[in-house]
Chain A
Amino acid sequence: MKDSRKKFTDIAKECGVSVTTIKNRYSELKKSGIVLGSTVIVNVKNLGYEGYLSLYVNAKFDEVEQFLEYVNKLPGVMTYHVTLNENYNVHVLLPVKSMQEIERRKEQIKNHPSVIDVKANIWTEIKSIPENLSIDSL
């Protein structure tokens, strides 16, 4: 989790076992569905984005699916999901490059006919530490 590109030879050395053992264990973890795959965490601030626009949306109860379809097609949406919040039922996150973009992106969401209310917060920095997860026992 700390570095998925770490060589099996290095992991083997650190664990005091053979490279074959590490290879076999990794294959087993993948086969059993414990390891789902590998990916990279991207720091979008290094890609020219200044921050993130976090929007809590109250969409009409019977039109949430319709709204989610709209959000899914919007370019640049980083993530969205249905929430258990009492006042808002959808959370949408968008990386933004400028103040103007914040306004434009908020309007894009607010103007959808299913939307009753939108609450905005600005996220300025995200620190991802997946290695902090305790996976000591199954």
Chain B
Amino acid sequence: MDKLDYKIMEKLMDNSRLSFRKIAKELGVSTDTAMRRYKKLKKNGTLKPTIAIDLSKFGYQVVIWYMISLMPQINSSSAVDEIAKIPNVTTIIKAVGDYDLLAMAMVKDFQHMYKIGDDLAKVSGVTKIEGRPYIMASGDPEVGKACARGFYRP
């Protein structure tokens, strides 16, 4: 990783559909260099290009953070793989402290919130789930991009 990689990442955070030609021009490098650097960053898992959508337009009103405790014998990676199959869980975090995993999900209403809670309870080794709701801001492109990245920063 060098300064050029960081600069390419910054450009793509604002607009991941920016053409390699434009990135290269703005950074004063060749198109081939910009393309090569991007491919490397994507291949090694540093970058994942995505779009930001206004979730409220699809009826999503609340983000729920489910704090999950696992049985001591359970491998957290296998629990993560199982949880990743649950629709609308968009971020899974391995943690050390009060809980073992944190799953972030977008929900439409209370019924939806309980449904995801029930799905999480079926994951092997889960012993406790605690849900915390967060009201979502919507319509602001910057907030949308931050949500897409998994993080909301006002």
The 0/1 profile, CB within 8 Å of A marked 1, for residues 66-92 of chain B is 000000000000001000101111111
Contact A129 B90 (CB under 8 A): yes
- A-chain residues with CB within 8 Å of residue B146 when the two chains form the complex: 79
Closest to A47 in B: B1
**Binding-face segment, B24-32, B42-50, B119-127:** B42-50
Closest to B144 in A: A36
Contact A122 B46 (CB under 8 A): no
Which one, A5, A84, A130, contacts B134 given CB within 8 A? A84
Contact B16 A40 (CB under 8 A): yes
Indicate the size class of the contact surface on chain B.
35 or more
Decide yes or no whether B14 CB sits under 8 A from chain A: yes
The 0/1 profile, CB within 8 Å of B marked 1, for residues 125-138 of chain A is 11111111111011
Q: Nearest-CB distance from A51 to chain B (Å)?
A: 8
Decide yes or no whether A43 CB sits under 8 A from chain B: yes
CA distance A37 to B80 in the complex (A): 28
Decide yes or no whether A33 CB sits under 8 A from chain B: yes
- A-chain residues with CB within 8 Å of residue B139 when the two chains form the complex: 33, 36
A39-B15, A129-B84, A132-B89 are known; give 5 further A-B pairs, CB within 8 A: A4-B16, A38-B50, A43-B46, A52-B93, A84-B132
Measured CB to CB, the residues of A under 8 A from B are: 1-5, 33-43, 46-48, 52, 54, 77-81, 83-85, 93, 119-135, 137-138
